[in-house]
Copies of this chain bind each other. A is one copy, B any other.
Amino acid sequence: MVLTAVLDYVGVATFAMVSTVAARDRRLDLVSAAMLGTVAGIGGGTLRDLALDRTVFWLHDPGYLYVCVGAATLVWFVGAGPRRRQTLLFLDALGISSFAVVGALIAGEAGVSAPVAVVMGILTATCGGILRDVLAGELAVLVRRDIYISVAMLSATVFVVATELRLPPVPAAICGAAVGTVLRVLVITRRWQLPAPPRA
């Protein structure tokens, strides 16, 4: 599908750029920034492919590596002021949702059941960023009070349910990505948080 390829490249480039903004703020050198950006861009899909026992998607398609290194290098040199950060935040919302859909789609094609496809969508969308945070010695999104994993879960679930209801892949993918993007934008603009656990 051309659509998923486009979403995929946009997601990879966005994740690499978001990562490099953070790396630049910490004054990291270009090599570290490019490596962290690449981990952020392709880490989630790599884990998904390992878990599904597929060929890792960038192994015979170095285009993904070029996009990561190129996007990271660009951002490292030019930097990002408040407006660009704002734009990246919204592209990031689209990126998480798209990756979650792509991950669930690929998992479904590999023949796994619906719940496992949702988990693969979550892995694809969130593990690149989590891995990047861990390598950079920062607190991963898992322990920050942010609604991020839920966005991936929602996108993947909407897509999987839509295909189970016999919607064709393209509209199902658009539904999944759109619902997740809207939720993520609401989370950012309204500063939503998930509730803390009940007191014992």
Which of the candidate stretches A9-17, A27-35, A157-165, A182-190 sits at the interface with the other chain?
Answer: A27-35
Q: Which residues of B contact A194 (CB under 8 A)?
A: 29-32
Interface centre among A35, A59, A195 (most CB of B within 10 A): A59
Subset of 11 A-B contacts with CB under 8 Å: A31-B147, A35-B142, A36-B142, A60-B113, A60-B116, A62-B113, A62-B116, A79-B198, A130-B135, A134-B135, A137-B139
Cβ 8 A contact of A143, one of B26, B46, B62, B149 = B26
Cβ 8 A contact of A51, one of B30, B56, B65 = B56
Q: Which residues of B contact A78 (CB under 8 A)?
A: 200
Q: Which residues of B contact A147 (CB under 8 A)?
A: 31
Q: Does A125 sit within 8 A of B, measured CB to CB? A: no
Cα distance A28–B198 in the bound complex, in angstroms:
11
Q: Which residues of B contact A150 (CB under 8 A)?
A: 31
Q: Which residues of B contact A130 (CB under 8 A)?
A: 135
> Chain A interface residue count: which class?
35 or more
Chain A interface (Cβ within 8 Å of chain B)?
A: 24, 26-33, 35-36, 46, 50-53, 55-56, 58-60, 62, 65-66, 76-81, 112-113, 115-116, 119, 122, 130, 134-137, 139-140, 142-143, 145, 147, 149-150, 153, 193-200
Cα distance A59–B116 in the bound complex, in angstroms:
7
Given A58-B116, A134-B134, do A145 and B53 touch, yes or no (CB 8 Å)? no
Smallest CB gap from A110: residue in B: B59
Cα distance A200–B27 in the bound complex, in angstroms:
11
Cβ 8 A contact of A30, one of B35, B112, B197 = B197
B198 near A143 with CB under 8 A, answer no
Can you add 19 more A-B contacts, CB < 8 Å, to A28-B142, A46-B51? A26-B143, A27-B197, A29-B193, A29-B197, A30-B194, A31-B150, A31-B153, A33-B197, A35-B149, A59-B112, A59-B116, A60-B116, A65-B115, A65-B119, A78-B200, A80-B200, A130-B135, A135-B140, A136-B140
